[in-house]
Amino acid sequence: MSNDTVVWTKEAGVCTITMNRPEAMNALNGDMVNGLMAAFQDCYDEDIRAVVLTGSGKAFCLGGDIASASKYGDGDLQAFFRDFTVPLARLISDMRQLPKPIIASINGICAGVGVSFAAACDLRICNDKVVFKQAYTGVGISQDGGFSQMVPIIIGLGRASEMVFLDEVITAEKALDWGLVNKVVTPEELPEATAKLALKLANGATKAYASSKALLNQCLLPQLEVQLERERQGVMSTSLTEDYKEGIAVFTGQKKKPEFQGK
């Protein structure tokens, strides 16, 4: 099954969901959010017992499609983020509520909301060429997609703070050391390693996995929906700042380097 931006297939109890905007390095736009929601809802199929999320082409997900945001114009930026962040919050909640394990098979660069997607999955495997980047503050905006709650839980507050305030590139090796990913393999090994892990989960104790995932959510993410709304409000607020305009100008090629003024 597919739409223009998301493709998903079912085989041997595994649903593989592929973000499919390779020409944009799988940058997230409204169509992709809607496609992902449809894909994860389809995973309630009783024949599906494990899920894989990956990207097509050279990227897992570059982040949000800032180019789409810029097309709204300064006066309509809040309308864009309102339209975009409401379904995004629902998508992240749906991923955590899905009573089946989700594997992020990270095939290429993972930045911004791509990191949020990976964090929302239950297990993460990547190839050794992958790099991670927080990216939000680098363009003058705050985090969304549950980043501010799930990433600190996975890697700790100190390391999450390093990602947020320094916004440096995180190598696959460093991501493994931090616990951001569970396993690193070569690019050639990634498809087979992902399939092997997915089949192991698909042949596991599905009901026990579902109960265990719910228990983890209740223990560590009881306020996820509240935090998603806080993030949404933060994005809408920071999207109107002069610093974000600087970030947009750099991203769209109007400037080479941002000149943030704290305004």
The beta-carbon contacts of 45-48 under 8 Å, at least 24 apart in sequence, are 45/10, 45/15, 47/10, 47/13, 48/10, 48/13, 48/14, 48/15, 48/100
The overall longest dimension of the chain from CA atoms, in Å, is 54
pLDDT in tens, 229-263: 999 999 989 988 999 888 877 776 677 788 899 98
- DSSP lists the bridge partners of residue 102 as 51
Q: Name the percent of the chain lying above pLDDT 90.
A: 81
Amino acid 250: pLDDT: 77
Determine contact, residues 205/109, Cβ cutoff 8 Å: no
The contacts of residue 118 (CB under 8 Å, 6+ apart) are: 60, 104, 106, 110, 124, 180, 181
Q: Is the pLDDT of residue 75 over 70?
A: no
pLDDT in tens, 139-166: 999 999 999 999 999 999 999 999 999 9
Amino acid 127: pLDDT: 98
Go through the domains of the chain in sequence order and give each one's CATH number: 1-188+206-263 (3.90.226.10)
pLDDT in tens, 26-52: 999 989 999 999 999 999 999 999 999
Strands 14-19 and 6-11: antiparallel
Query: 3-state SS of 163-201?
Result: HHHHCCCEEHHHHHHHCCCCEEECCCCHHHHHHHHHHHH
Range scoring the smallest mean pLDDT among 111-115, 211-215, 233-237: 233-237
- DSSP lists the bridge partners of residue 8 as 17
Residue 66, SS3? Answer: helix
Residue type, 73: G
